[in-house]
Amino acid sequence: MRPERAPRPSLASVQAALLSRITGQELGLPVVGAASSIRSDARASAEERLAVYAFMYRARLVEALESQFPRLARLLGAEAFADLAARYLALWPSRHPSLREIGRALPPWLATSRSEAPAWEGLASLEWARADVYDLADEPAMTLEALRAFPPERFGELPLTLIAAHRFVEVDRATEALWDALAPDAADLAGAPSPSSEAGPDATLLVWRQEIAVYHRAVDSEECAALVLVAAGSRFGAICEVLSAAHGDEIAAARAFAWLSSWIADGLLAAF
Amino acid sequence: MTTRGTTPLFPNLGRGLGLRREHYQHVVENRPAVDWFEVISENFMGAGGNPRRVLEAVRRDHPVVLHGVSLSIGSSDPLDQRYLAELDALARAVEPAWISDHLCWGTAHGINAHDLLPLPYTEEALAHVAGRVEMVQERLGRRILLENPSSYLMLDGDMAEHEFLAELARRADCGILLDVNNVFVSAHNHGWDPQAYLAAMPAERVGQIHLAGHSEDGGLLIDTHDGYVADGVWRLYADAVGRFGARSTMIEWDAEVPAFEKLEAELGRAARWEKMVLGERRHAA
């Protein structure tokens, strides 16, 4: 009598075993020997064949992260960035069909991980915010023509809403200078400032997309508060009232109209 | 043996290229004389910004086909309905000639390897994948094509990959995107007969052909898409044209991407092979 062959593992268990070996993820269930279902031959063993996939997995995801955090990668260098990416991916493997989402958790992970340098969080947050707005839905922006056509006597009721393709990023004060120093055309990194490793965020950057270009700039606390109101959907009169309480009517009106003008020029306001 | 007289389920668009980021500006500004473009679906699922504008501009001048890498049709995980909704929305906006993805899986327990992992070619997997293809086609309201992947490992199964793919196409009523380079690479890596692979394909279901470069690593060939199409792949392409006739054919070149003119020149080689094979056939007739 020939011994009975062991039953073939199910499709689900084969896939769990293979994915676990390729990604290094524990999937929380007993894993059948991944290599036992893989055929070996003279060209390569089952282990060597698995290693091809494991190598490509890491290379592909590190490359995707590098494309989303190019300045952080430049700052750390290729090897250190790949190591950082591997530590991140071990905790935050991809759970989305698109690699577009792979870097979403990297900034908060940097900020909260005790073993990583939280000082890089500002740079990473800025890079992620820029990547995140890059392909969000287009929407018509408010124009000066539309503003001029709005009845002046009802200006206080002018509806203000920020376009969806914007983000507020709280960063270390050194982040902006670090960003500039790490530009692709910057000659060397010798002059790159060091981010503070002790202080919390002390600057707010506004990131947004106008047409196809992505921009960011620092906003002071007063403009930031106004923009937060606008992001939630506000009216021009409400912005004026806040300013008026702090500065009086004359200064408030001048400042509110200056903001409105620059927000429209930057394509920050959605059409009404 | 040839399969003259079979009517393909998909129109012959001619010769196309993959639309890659490195060539966005060139293609939009110069409107090159390429018959059609293939785009990676996932790269254009964002609803706005530069990628969508480029796609709209290209679509105004050329037929476009959508080629996905994340459908994970063979996975044991449930089909990702959000992904299908985004793919459907993209298809409605772009009106592609067709939508394709790969005969593979990439997710398990919700974790995505972002790879085209090979299936065990078993009866269990065949029934599983056929049912999912039917669900996807129902959701998208159209017949899809599935591409044979390059693979570096082979799992215990009941049948060969070409038998699995051919039976799947018949059972689920879907098309086949025949990647000739992948046939060449996998045949080398597993000791398959590439001619037997081509012979098993139901000709009328082969709607598109991929060509690409590969590289060698140890004893295995790797589907790197980083260079010229290898001589052996061109010969296999000629065999495929002989069997299936002219099919929408494109070159994939995704790493170390060269100037657009080089891609056009490589596409010209495909045209010459096709002309030679079909010209010989006419003489023989």
Q: Distance from B48 to chain A by nearest Cα, in Å?
A: 4
Q: Are A22 and A31 in contact (CB under 8 A)?
A: no
Contacts of A41 in chain B (CB under 8 A): 190-191
Tell whether A176 and A237 lie within a shared domain: yes
Tell whether A219 and A164 lie within a shared domain: yes
Give residue A186's pLDDT: 78
Tell whether A163 and A201 lie within a shared domain: yes
Cα(B267)–Cα(B273) distance, integer angstroms: 10
Tell whether A161 and A106 lie within a shared domain: no
Q: Of A104, A120, A136, which one is at a domain's C-terminal end?
A: A120
Residue B208 falls within a domain, yes or no? yes
Residue B171 has pLDDT above 50, yes or no: yes
Cα(B183)–Cα(B194) distance, integer angstroms: 6
Alpha helices for A32-120 (secondary structure H): 46-68, 70-76, 78-91, 106-112
Q: Are B101 and B69 in contact (CB under 8 A)?
A: yes
Q: Are A47 and A36 in contact (CB under 8 A)?
A: no
Residue B9 falls within a domain, yes or no? no
Q: 10 Å Cβ neighbour count for A14?
A: 27
Give pairs for A193-197: CB < 8 Å, separation 24+: A194/A119, A195/A119, A195/A120, A195/A122, A195/A123, A196/A119, A196/A172, A197/A117, A197/A118, A197/A119
Residue B199 has pLDDT above 90, yes or no: yes
Which candidate from A11, A48, A50 shows the least CB-CB separation from B76? A11
Residue with token string 């270009």: A213
Instruction: Give a three-class secondary structure readout of chain B.
Output: CCCCCCCCCCCCCCEEEECCHHHHHHHHHHCCCCCEEEEEHHHHCCCCHHHHHHHHHHHHHCCEEEECCCCCCCCCCCCCHHHHHHHHHHHHHHCCCCEEEECCEEEECCEEEEEEECCCCCHHHHHHHHHHHHHHHHHHCCCCEEECCCCCCCECCCCCHHHHHHHHHHHHCCEEEEEHHHHHHHHHHHCCCHHHHHHHCCHHHEEEEEEECCEEECCEEECCCCCCCCHHHHHHHHHHHHHHCCCEEEEECCCCCCCHHHHHHHHHHHHHHHHHHHHHHHHHC
Give the phi and the psi of residue B12 in degrees, each rounded to 5.
-85, 110
Which candidate from A19, A100, A209 shows the least CB-CB separation from B108? A19
Q: Out of A105-119, B57-71, B74-88, which region has the weakest mean confidence (pLDDT)? A: A105-119
Mutate to test the interface with B, among A5, A8, A19 (most CBs of B within 10 A): A19
Q: For the packed helices B180-190 and B231-244, what is the interaxial angle rounded to 10 degrees?
A: 120
Q: Which domain holds residue A47?
A: 11-120
A16·B155 Cβ contact <8 A: no
Q: 10 Å Cβ neighbour count for A240?
A: 20
Longest Cα separation, chain A = 101
Residue B5 has pLDDT above 50, yes or no: no
Give residue A117's pLDDT: 67
Strands (E), chain A: 159-160, 166-171, 203-210, 213-219, 234-235
Burial of residue A150 (number of CB atoms within 10 Å: 0-12, 13-18, 19+): middle
DSSP code for A139: -
- Does A18 reach chain B within 8 Å, measured CB to CB? yes
Q: What is the CATH number of the domain that holds B22?
A: 3.20.20.150
Tell whether A115 and A154 lie within a shared domain: no
Give pairs for A248-257: CB < 8 Å, separation 24+: none
- Does A210 reach chain B within 8 Å, measured CB to CB? no
Read off the pLDDT band of B113 (50, 70, 90). Answer: very high
Residue A110 falls within a domain, yes or no? yes
Residue A5 falls within a domain, yes or no? no
Mutate to test the interface with B, among A10, A13, A15, A41 (most CBs of B within 10 A): A15
Q: Which domain holds residue B83?
A: 15-284
Residue B49 falls within a domain, yes or no? yes
Strand pairing class (B248-252; B15-18): parallel
Residue A98 falls within a domain, yes or no? yes
DSSP code for A269: B
Residue B2 falls within a domain, yes or no? no
ipTM of the complex: 0.94
Q: Which helix (H) or strand (E) holds A39?
A: none
- Name the residue among A35, A269, A23 with its Cα closest to residue A161: A269
Give residue A172's pLDDT: 86
Tell whether A80 and A191 lie within a shared domain: no
Name the average pLDDT for chain B.
Answer: 95
Q: 10 Å Cβ neighbour count for A30?
A: 8
Number of folded domains that form chain B:
1
Residue A3 falls within a domain, yes or no? no
- pTM for the model stands at 0.92
Residue B7 falls within a domain, yes or no? no
Contacts of B120 in chain A (CB under 8 A): 8, 11, 14, 37
The one-digit pLDDT tens for each residue of chain A (272 residues) are 555 667 788 999 999 999 999 999 887 555 556 567 888 888 999 999 999 999 999 999 999 999 999 999 999 999 999 999 999 999 999 999 999 999 999 999 998 886 766 678 899 999 999 999 999 999 999 999 999 999 999 999 999 999 999 999 999 888 998 999 999 887 766 666 666 555 556 899 999 999 999 999 999 999 999 999 999 999 999 999 999 999 999 999 999 999 999 999 999 999 99
Tell whether A110 and A162 lie within a shared domain: no
Residue B264 falls within a domain, yes or no? yes
- Name the residue among A156, A93, A209 with its Cα closest to residue B46: A209
- Does A187 reach chain B within 8 Å, measured CB to CB? no
Residue A108 falls within a domain, yes or no? yes
Q: Which two tokens stand for residue A86?
A: 């591997």
DSSP code for A1: -
Strand pairing class (B99-102; B145-147): parallel
Q: Are B31 and B67 in contact (CB under 8 A)?
A: no
Number of folded domains that form chain A:
2
When pLDDT is averaged across residues B41-62 and rounded to a whole number, the result is 95
Q: Of A120, A154, A184, which one is at a domain's C-terminal end?
A: A120
- Does A37 reach chain B within 8 Å, measured CB to CB? yes
> Residue A178: which residues within 8 A CB-CB, separation 6 or more?
A71, A75, A122, A123, A192, A193, A195
Q: What are the residues facing A234 on neighbouring strands?
A: A160
Residue B139 falls within a domain, yes or no? yes
Residue B257 falls within a domain, yes or no? yes
Read off the pLDDT band of B111 (50, 70, 90). Answer: very high
Q: What angle do CA B269, B275, B281 make, to 5 degrees?
A: 140
Tell whether A18 and A111 lie within a shared domain: yes
Residue A233 falls within a domain, yes or no? yes
Q: Of A120, A135, A168, which one is at a domain's C-terminal end?
A: A120
Give residue B41's pLDDT: 98
Cα(A253)–Cα(A244) distance, integer angstroms: 8
Tell whether A203 and A108 lie within a shared domain: no
Residue A217 falls within a domain, yes or no? yes
- Does A45 reach chain B within 8 Å, measured CB to CB? no
Residue A80 falls within a domain, yes or no? yes
- Does A32 reach chain B within 8 Å, measured CB to CB? no
Q: For the packed helices B231-244 and B260-284, what is the interaxial angle rounded to 10 degrees?
A: 50
DSSP code for A102: T
Which candidate from B42, B111, B222 shows the least CB-CB separation from A95? B111
B120·A14 Cβ contact <8 A: yes
- Name the residue among A101, A23, A112 with its Cα closest to residue A67: A101
Read off the pLDDT band of B2 (50, 70, 90). Answer: very low
Tell whether A112 and A57 lie within a shared domain: yes
Q: What angle do CA B208, B214, B217 make, to 5 degrees?
A: 145
Give residue B3's pLDDT: 45
Distances (CA, A) of A211 to A140, A214, A216, A264: 10, 8, 14, 13
When pLDDT is averaged across residues B207-214 and rounded to a whole number, the result is 98
Cα(A102)–Cα(A56) distance, integer angstroms: 16
| Residue B167: CA count within 13 A, CB half-sphere | 16
